[in-house]
Amino acid sequence: MLKNKGQSKIGCLIYLLLFAYFIYLSIQLVPAFYKNEELRDTLDIAARSYYQLKDRPEVMYNMILKKAREQYIPLKRNDIRVQLRRGEVEISATYDIEIDFLFMKKKFKMHPTATMPIYDF
């Protein structure tokens, strides 16, 4: 009976360490993916207003880059692509972020995309 006395404390400590590691991971991952969704929303707005901004593409690029700067996303103008296809516009951006997993660092390639139909009036 005395042998089992410390086993519950060790098990509890292991579970607490695992729980703390998952909290740490969520603190690292959630903001990165949230920022990606915020940028995707901005791409969506730019795609919706493409018809009004097609003669002034710099306005659209500046709007996207401004949002990226606000979110501390490492995005350059070359990373933003605007493609026209059969009555729709696709705006996408590609960038890499590095996330620290405590024991290693991993690079994630983010690729937010927005596609909207173009209505010609």
| Annotated domain spans of the chain | 11-117
What is the average pLDDT across 3-20? 83
pLDDT band at 1 (very low <50, low <70, confident <90, very high): very low
Of the listed ranges 18-22, 27-31, 33-37, 58-62, the least confidently predicted one is 58-62
What secondary structure does DSSP assign to 35-86, as a single string? HHHHHHHHHHHHHHTHHHHTT-HHHHHHHHHHHHHHTT----GGGEEEEEET
pLDDT band for position 71 (50/70/90)? very high
